[in-house]
Chains A and B, each alone.
Chain A
Amino acid sequence: MPGNKKTPGGKARYYTPPNFLREKVGSGGIDPKILNKAQTFLDEHDVEFAPFAARFLAMLEEAIRDVRSGKLTGKAALSALTGPIMELKANGGMFRYRLVTEIAGVILNFLENLDELNEDALHLVDAHRKTLDVIAMNNLKGDGGAEGRKLAMALYEACRRYYAKYDLAPKG
């Protein structure tokens, strides 16, 4: 292996791989105009997001149903809920649905701080799901302005009340 070096303790080896990328692309960075052009492309890129959102929301609805029925429990239940929410958070903002990302981000963060689920938590997740459904199905692009912010804050407040009720502190 290139640049192989064994540490004094004998438990780990360090390698310095050749920087092939540097050799191929050279140095000098990128023209800021190119970055601006790419950002403009990203900002104006139009994709019909609703069918993707519908698929993730259907997965989420099914997961909520399975958790409520006891078909899914523990880590598997949390994982089934966080998966589609994460996809909504990740992809909404990439395709100009910033409010979808904001709201999905709130409930994702909430779930990532839980070790177990109860009916109150599921109720919260379902409230977020219904909100996301309205936003996506009505093609509400952007951040939703002041009303969108209020909506996100209201849902965030609901999560906060849950933490207070169950005496939980977010783990970060």
Chain B
Amino acid sequence: MPYQFENASVLIVDDMKPMVSLLSSLLRIFGFRHIYTAYDGQEAFKQFCKHRPDIILTDWMMEPNDGIALVERVRKDSLSPNKFVPIIFMTGYSHRIRVERARDAGITEFLAKPFNVKDLYARIERLIEKPRQFVEATDFFGPDRRRKNPKDYDGPFRRGEDDTVSEDDQPLEVDMVERERTELMLEVLRKEISQETQ
């Protein structure tokens, strides 16, 4: 039997109204029936407290409270009704530093805009099939920033082991199309710079 999305709820947060409308329509086609919407981080937190959605799908850049502030509030605020709620973070930024900033705020999945339907579905599927463990440290609370099984943890050398990434131990992903495009451009650029400077 396929996923029964009609049993789950989602909160969509984006300051672009056409984007909220588009996402709502796509999720309805997937089968979701309980869809809540908000247009900035502040309103979103109120909706989150009121409806306790199973998934939050949020944009980054919004006024007066942006997506990062929302994520941090959901993860840390004492009023948050579910600090473990899965958060899919959407943005046009895809530079490594930006992805790391979002990851460090406590997002669950990163979805670079523009995206296609498969990209969107893949993130939702991953929330269901590969949920992240949570980590609470002095300066961080959120999903494990690597899909690593803490059962493997064996003392003080963990930081060194972090450099090894296995198939099941992937860092947070930017979608493939975006990454391939960026990497291709950078590769061409590096080669050409190298040729010009020789």
Contact = CB atoms under 8 A, between A and B. Distances in A.
B182 interface: yes
A170 interface: yes
A164 B197 contact: yes
Interface residues of A toward B: which range?
35 or more
A146 B31 CA distance: 38
Interface string A65-106: 000000000000000001100111111111100100100111
Interface residues of B, number: 64
B3 A109 contact: no
Interface in B1-55: 1-5, 7-8, 16, 18-19, 22, 25-26, 29-31, 54-55
Given A9-B156, A94-B22, A163 B193 contact: yes
Given A34-B31, A47-B18, A52-B16, A109 B185 contact: yes
B136 A13 contact: yes
B22 A112 contact: no
A41 B26 contact: yes
B192 interface: yes
Q: Which of A5, A21, A106, A112 neighbours the largest number of chain B CB atoms within 10 Å of its CB?
A: A21
A38 B92 contact: no
B176 interface: no
B132 to A, nearest CB: 9
Contact of B54 (A16, A21, A92): A21
Interface in A9-26: 9, 11-17, 19-22, 24-26
A91 B21 CA distance: 13
A34 B29 contact: yes
A165 B193 CA distance: 10
A170 B82 CA distance: 40
Given A26-B3, A83-B61, A86-B93, A21 B121 contact: no
Contacts of B192: 160, 164
B128 A19 contact: yes
Contacts of B106: none
B55 to A, nearest CB: 7
Interface string A115-133: 0000000000000000000
A37 B29 contact: yes
Contact of B30 (A27, A30, A112, A167): A30
Contacts of A137: none
B61 A160 contact: no
Given A7-B153, A167-B197, 5 more contacts: A30-B30, A39-B116, A90-B114, A105-B181, A169-B190
21 contacts: A9-B158, A12-B136, A15-B134, A21-B54, A21-B127, A21-B128, A21-B131, A24-B8, A24-B54, A25-B128, A30-B125, A34-B29, A38-B30, A39-B117, A42-B117, A91-B16, A94-B19, A106-B185, A164-B197, A170-B189, A170-B190
